[in-house]
Chain A
Amino acid sequence: MLGEGIIKGMAETAKNFLGSYHDPERMVTVQFPEERLPAKEAARSFPFLVFDGQDAEKGLRCVACQICEKECPPQCIYITKSKDKKPDYVGKAQFYPAVFDIDISVCMSCQICVEVCPFEAIKMDNDVELSNTDRFGGLLLNKQLLAKPNSHFHKIHPTEADEVDGRLAAEKAKVEAKAKADAEAKAKAAAAGAAGAPAPKPAPKPPTPPPA
């Protein structure tokens, strides 16, 4: 019958009309900014640098290896290595970035820098409300703006942060165990050396970076 299809269609729209008043599956509008949906855990917007503890300078995990700068597809990271070194989380002296800039007008949030970082130093933030009135300088985030504490990382990506912490703790435990074994061997060698026979000193192994 001519017109039957249109009438069926109209019944469909009427169902949606009435459904939008009582069925949350139909009326899916969320009135931002008064209501907000909770962010997904994996959501990513732009990178940030993680530091352990309270001091952004002392606890910064980044050692300015510049791997992320090389691997970034649009080349939006600018790093300048420092001249001196500072101790990292296991106590080894490492370089640190004197300048670490990310141009977020270029960054395409691809997360490759996070994947290739061997030191768990750069992670993805999920803040999207980043409007600025300065189109050029305002969108170039420097080290101070990028450095955020580990607690922030735990807040936005709890599962991933726990995993990372576990890995770093395991690394640290391994290094400490090795240092203790080295110290014991040295003490034994010193005791043996005091007895006269020179003991071979095992070469210290550098801590291996955790798998990416």
Chain B
Amino acid sequence: MIGDLIHGIFLMIWRTLTDQPEAKSDFLAVFPTAVQPVVSAVLTVSPLLAGFGLLFALTTLLERKGLGRIQNRLGPNRVGPCGILQPVADGLKMITKEDIIPRTADRVVHLLAPIALVVPTVLAFAVLPYGRYLVPMVNDAGILFFFAVGASTELSVFMAGWSSRNKYSLLGAMRAIAQMISYEIPLIISSVSVIMIAGSLSPVEIVQAQGSWLAGGFVPHWYVLTPWGLTGFIIFLISSLAESNRSPFDIPEAESELIAGHLTEYSGFKYALFFLAEYFGTFAIGGLAVTLFLGGWHAPIEALEVIPSYVWFVLKLMALVSLFIWIRGTVPRLRVDQLLNFAWKFLLPMSLLNLIVAGIWHFTAVWDFPCALLVRWALCAAMIAVPYTLLGRALNAKRNAAHRTYRYAT
């Protein structure tokens, strides 16, 4: 029995690492049938949480060191070699801090708000395919589940602002919700274009649809390499920055000018939970972007498929996270009304246009005269670029952006 257990564990680890199906079956066979679902669930969820927890710690360190190098300084490098243990120090600090709750605050809601943020974010991890056979929950409507669960995070922001019994937290929370709701729409519509083309709401099938190579195995069939896919990807990225409250959309959580946001009255472990949930949200949306546009766990070149699939997933996810950190280090913050203008007047029309272009791309796929690909690219790119320039000009119409001339007196 013990021998079977250990054999089962080894087989499970070996099969997971080498991309083979039915990894858990031998291990689960040791247990009686009644408890098998429970054990299976525990086995699925714990590595997920542990892995993403480790990734979270690594990302906080990477962010601080990356921002430091961008600003020509070293990041943290005192705790452990190259500052590796800095997240441990931060975690200890957060846990041992005093938990201050305002006297008039609504204690139950105050406690529930961070939990209500972490739980949906972790739930959203359940549908993403991390490897060839590594999907926690195979669901035909996985994308719908993801968005439904992701939208419920906005409720917790409001709970945080409301329970603090602080005028400024409430106003900050309302601003944060306005931002998050406005950016849900371009997010969803840009992913609808992928769903339309792939023909399914299941992330597993979407990744499989991107699993072929053109040009002799050197050009992958990822959706990001099509004109509508590229546009969709960019819109998705901008909206995901806004959804996870990162720069340049970090009005809710920055040491803002006036209103300190919905996180004012949180300290200690609850603040750590909010922080954790924000990063988990970034990973979840990044993981969805990888699934929808970047080909999921496929390698870019067919020859490199020998490298296990989850490695590719993690590499692509970290590339996206590094892009987010890079953007954070470069651009200042938008004002709230400018942010909302941008979402409604620019991103929304562009994402609707993207749907149409995706359809045109799909229906012109039957053309087979020579350089049909070039013609299709040119047509779709023009259909996107022209409204982009026009909309961009309309957005900046009130000011002549950076084209002022200055006169000199001698």
Contact = CB atoms under 8 A, between A and B. Distances in A.
A and B, direct touch (CB closer than 8 Å): yes
Interface of A: 1-3, 5-6, 9-10, 12-14, 16-17, 19-21, 26-29, 31
Interface string B58-74: 00000000100111111
A1 B389 contact: yes
Q: Interface of chain B, helix or strand or loop or mixed?
A: helix
B74 A27 contact: yes
A6 B323 CA distance: 13
Nearest to B388: A2
A14 B395 CA distance: 28
Contacts, number: 49
Contacts of A6: 330-331
Interface residues of B, number: 20
Interface of B: 66, 69-74, 326-327, 329-331, 346, 388-389, 391-392, 395-396, 402
A19 B71 CA distance: 11
A21 to B, nearest CB: 7
Nearest to B402: A5
Nearest to B393: A2
Given A1-B389, A20-B69, A31 B330 contact: no
Contact of B72 (A2, A14, A28): A28
Contacts of B329: 13
Nearest to A10: B330
A2 B330 contact: no
A20 B326 contact: no
A16 B395 contact: no
A2 B392 contact: yes
Contacts of A21: 69
Contacts of B389: 1-2
A145 to B, nearest CB: 33
A9 B392 contact: no
Which 6 A-B pairs rank lowest in CB-CB distance, beginning with the nearest? A2-B392, A13-B330, A20-B69, A17-B70, A13-B70, A17-B69
A18 to B, nearest CB: 9
A2 B396 contact: yes
